[in-house]
Chains A and B, each alone.
Chain A
């Protein structure tokens, strides 16, 4: 589904990703871990098409298409979703309106019929209930005045509504207390399915107690230096990232 090969990317002239390769198949959950500055968020942003990031080498194919040539909104319609590390406030824009505009734009781009307001309201109210979101969410402006935890939960809520095929979660766990963390994890787990893949970017292992990944990758200095199953995350937790760096260093020497 997603194939990243030898990806090099920079922002503001600084090279962040230096030859990253990763393959993700439908149904899989990949965790990307790594120390600060390793390039985790850059990976998420490059996949979603954030302006300002320059890919200098390598390729990313998604469902056989060259993902990097697509506009962000085209990627979204093709089923790519990024849960933002820092969700953005849009004052005065009603959540319901925003979500309907997003969903209908995607449906239109895919040649599906747009939902009228009654159909959409029914759908979105159901999701609010399923996800245990506060009902007033729909009357509020997009992320405006939301607490940090509410913003992150809202990202997962948007994901549940938009039903992407490839969801990239960029440090969705950061700044969450344990209850909010569980809610976020429940939201993600409820969406796991054989034809949907997740790339879960996180700094800490604790999220992976709740979202159990099929694969764990350690990103360091712009490359994946270690891959394994869920147990790798626990080793990391025990030894810290310094351990990975040493290992990578030792490998390079060998």
Chain B
């Protein structure tokens, strides 16, 4: 069957539903970056001296680095002096009741379970509005079992020793250009600490949201699971519509001690730009987990549908013997979106295992690349890896690429890689339609089937959300 590219195109245009702007007063720093700005950020957050110095060290390191260009994306030069590095809502709230109703309304539109809904649903929400955490729920319940779940700013003030011990221990300040920038200017983020032997009693969830225009957002998240601790953390992101590209350079660090288990799930729906490739978020993120203890496990699950440019590789360092790293990813690109995403699995300990499942969906004129590294160090006896990368193309003007890298230094390693690329065929679409299923429903049904392997890994409520998000992102995708 011949394809119908024009109809395919027509179907791909749909409005971004999270594209509204909340009109609240903000306390922003003027654009620009120098040591004074770094100090000002630190001062506004009331940080101790060691933190200020840590930021400054990162800033000085950053000055010596160059923005990398190896990713398979077209990234326009970023003017780092044109960005404002701090933006916070005025009148900081002390409780949910004090939260600006407009902010709550914004979350409401996005369907964030705030207020009592959160507690009833068993979800604790640490909502980050622009740079400052505005609300944290269910903390009492968590603190009873010794779990700390708070904003990074608060953690720096209240749990300085823990932060100081772990911050930068997985992603060092000088790890890469964007990590260095983040280390210098990070605004807020989440901090999670699960003490020994504690199974976190609820799913922890954070919704990040960029609001003010021309504001870079630099979250810093740190999750520590001590021996035998178990935690599942969900991160959801949406951003309102803006014409200028917004920079989002987050750093996430996970530390799993002996037998600890961390599951980190992301649904990323930053503004992708319009159908002509104008605007959209640059999502340049460093996420890394460290299986520091024996028999520990870290699982990354991500559903990436947003951003003009996504550049991220949630990775696992398999340091502890018998530790396990998993990466499950669905990345959807449409219009002019570009995604270069994948993972790194670094096998160091004995009998370590990693599993990679990557599903890429490209439509419009977008391009999606999988880039993955499996590295087996000398001492990693009996390392095992299985990688599966599938791509599906919708229409004729998109592309998909796979860049698998393997560095094997131990002969006992078994590393497997499978990859497929397919098209949503007109045959599949017609088959569904001839049974009475409309074409948009058919497309989302086919794509959903394609992603099933990954969706199974998401916590229940997230899987539903992810499915909806794909439907929304593909609405009108095919004709």
A contact residues vs B (CB 8 Å cutoff): 12, 48-52, 71-73, 75-77, 81-82, 84, 86-94, 97-98, 101-103, 105-106, 109, 141, 158, 162
**B449 and A141 within 8 A (CB):** yes
User: Can you offer 30 A-B residue contacts whose CB atoms are under 8 A?
Assistant: A50-B430, A51-B2, A51-B4, A72-B430, A72-B434, A73-B438, A84-B434, A88-B431, A90-B431, A90-B449, A91-B449, A92-B448, A92-B449, A92-B451, A93-B446, A93-B449, A94-B449, A101-B445, A102-B435, A102-B436, A102-B437, A105-B435, A105-B438, A105-B441, A106-B436, A109-B436, A141-B449, A158-B435, A162-B435, A162-B436
Which residues of the other chain, B, contact A87 by a CB distance below 8 angstroms?
431
Q: Check B438–A93 contact: CB distance below 8 A.
A: no
Closest-by-CB residue of A relative to B7 is: A51
- Tell me which residues across on chain B come within 8 A of A98, comparing CB atoms: 432, 435, 445
Inter-chain CA distance A77–B437, complex, in Å, is: 9
Contact, CB under 8 Å: A73 / B433? yes
B1 at the interface (CB under 8 A from A): yes
Question: In the complex, which of the residues B430, B435, B451, B452 contacts A51, with contact meaning CB atoms closer than 8 Å?
Answer: B430
Residues of A within 8 A of B439 (CB): 73
In whole angstroms, what is the CA distance A94 to B456 when docked?
14
Q: Which of B147-155, B362-370, B401-409, B421-429 contacts A (4 or more CB under 8 A)?
A: B421-429
Which residue, of B428, B435, B439, B453, has the highest number of chain A Cβ atoms within 10 A?
B435
Please tell me if the beta carbons of A90 and B428 are within 8 angstroms of each other in the complex. Answer: yes
A-B contact count (CB 8 A): 88
Q: Which residues of B contact A90 (CB under 8 A)?
A: 428, 431-432, 445-446, 449
Please name the residue on chain B nearest to A76 by beta carbon.
Answer: B436
Min CB distance, B357 to chain A, in Å? 12
Cβ-defined contact, B433 with A71, below 8 A = yes
Rounded to whole Å, the gap between the CB of A9 and the closest CB of chain B is: 15
> How many interface residues does B have (CB within 8 Å)?
26
Chain A residues with CB under 8 A of B427: 86, 88
In Å, the complex CA distance between A50 and B453 comes to 31
A182 vs B250: C-alpha distance when bound (angstroms): 63
Q: Is the CB of A84 within 8 A of B448?
A: no
Chain B residues near A (Cβ < 8 Å): 1-2, 4, 425-428, 430-439, 441, 445-446, 448-453
Q: For residue B434, which residues in chain A have a CB less than 8 angstroms away from its CB?
A: 48-50, 72-73, 75-76, 81-82, 84
Q: Tell me the complex Cα distance, A89–B434, Å.
A: 14
Q: With A52-B2, A52-B426 as given contacts, are A92 and B436 in contact (CB-CB < 8 Å)?
A: no
CA distance A214 to B1 in the complex (A): 33
Q: Which 6 A-B pairs have the closest CB atoms?
A: A92-B449, A93-B449, A76-B436, A102-B435, A106-B436, A72-B433
A50–B1 CB distance below 8 A: yes
Chain A residues, Cβ within 8 Å of B2? 12, 51-52
> Which chain B residue shows the least CB distance to A101?
B437
- B431 to chain A: which residues have CB within 8 Å? 84, 87-88, 90
Measured in the bound complex, the distance between the Cα atoms of B438 and A49 in whole Å is 13
Q: Please give 8 more A-B residue pairs, beta carbons under 8 A apart, in addition to A72-B433, A103-B436, A105-B438.
A: A50-B430, A51-B1, A51-B430, A73-B438, A90-B449, A102-B432, A106-B436, A162-B435
Closest Cβ–Cβ distance, residue A236 to chain B (whole Å): 29
A88 to chain B: which residues have CB within 8 Å? 425, 427-428, 430-431
